[in-house]
Structure 1
């Protein structure tokens, strides 16, 4: 599959700064070879999550406040950027960090989350979900559903909650949105997926034009991760029960924003998901960022493209909130009935 014809034309953000070129070069010649080596090892190696502990030392976006939140099976945090009020009638974001379901955590992503909070003018529940190799992805999803329930218990309605995540967190963002709707809790405001992993079947990525162009992930590392996830599911007796976002019922999903770098191997997933969402009648903005690396938004302190991208996310979240607030009581009832009908049809 050299290129997937999209049902909707992606928005292309042209241009790459010197900083982004240096970042891409550095990753291609440092992290990428290490991931390729990991993929070739004849045995599994899962080092301690040292990167998340070291990230405690990183400075935060000015004025950020946060406090720990204990969900049923994981520790999360309730975060507000400078000037953001906590008001259950306005809106909130449920966020899932990336890290291939194997690494990273609250500390590595706190700066990114605080910038998204600032741009969106909404508080964020940053979920420290359980990860492989200790727990399968189904438990990560369960932690996300608990996070959504936590927000609802504090006065946020489903339609006022945007679910967001990067990389593996993008997988969780769509999966949790599907899960809470299947629970009958209502439809979230929207989904934001940054460089998302959305399909554990590596076939589409192996045949994509970006298979060997990605500055971070070699193709063998992507295939190895898929194998690890499958073996984890098999050991827990749940193999075949987990559905990847690209294969979920999508007709009743909320509007989505997907960010992807133009050379990322995960472009295959982003294109496929955007195509299936739009074909199902769901609004989806696919934004392609010229030569940007995987989750470049995390480097907003020194990467100009990252700051523009986060502003795009903030505008999307605020637009969803404004559209919900503009609904009259009668139109809100009609809209919700329409959503319920679509949900019943999907089921």
Structure 2
């Protein structure tokens, strides 16, 4: 009996050690990819900066032209791409883990559309611009999230995993309905607006990282930092919730309160990212599944999801800027092209799994 127990303990230790090694390897690879993408983002453009001069220019050294291009134009855009990519990656990981549904993404369940609708309304009806539009987008995301929560039946314990899955599916379906409602409101506002105002709103709706204002960058960075700290505190309880509400309650987790706090944090991430760049399509949706596949597990994979999101947005922004000479497309178009096949693949795999069962 004792030898069997010792063998099980050694096996468990070996599995944990292998998991930690895999996490470190995957994290290292993603960071290396981000470094390469960051260098490319700072190098490429109408003025090509040599790789050896990029770092010098970023720290205020080298020719004045290089410093202006790298520090004044490209570094703020790169920083915003990294921030919103990480935010979208985290909100996807939180919602998909919390609701146990791979479709639980802010651009599918209506939160991004709510933020977009509020921002478009602020632009077209109130004449707002800049940081004020960002706050309107944040408010729109919160309102839609609250409506979904109330209509889906709140955050109370749901008992068995099957019942939890049903609640998650209802949450997603209600969110999809509200997303269509928000799109209808946006369409109505655009048809009633002046052509020039509608054009500026449309560019924002697609999801774009264009001219980055310092105030908006600071607000995005501070919001992302505060939410990251809150998520780090709640992360252990999110892992416990994945065991089931009854098991989590037995481990001392206040299920209702924890679900509410995690949802608020997720909405915060979605609102901060959407307010900064618009609804960049599919980043939140694809980041967590890619992260879990890289790690070979089913947990939240929060850090890995954030890194994957940053890689997706940064890479997509490079493609959006430089893939078509003389034409810059919004980054949301590129991420949409990437995300749509992933969605189809996920649905196809889900159908095969059900058929095999």
TM-score (normalised: structure 2)? 0.26
Rg comparison, structure with higher value = 2
Higher strand share: 1
Q: Normalising to structure 1: TM-score of the pair?
A: 0.27
Higher relative contact order structure (alpha carbons within 8 Å, sequence separation ≥ 6): 2
Structure ranking higher in helix proportion = 2
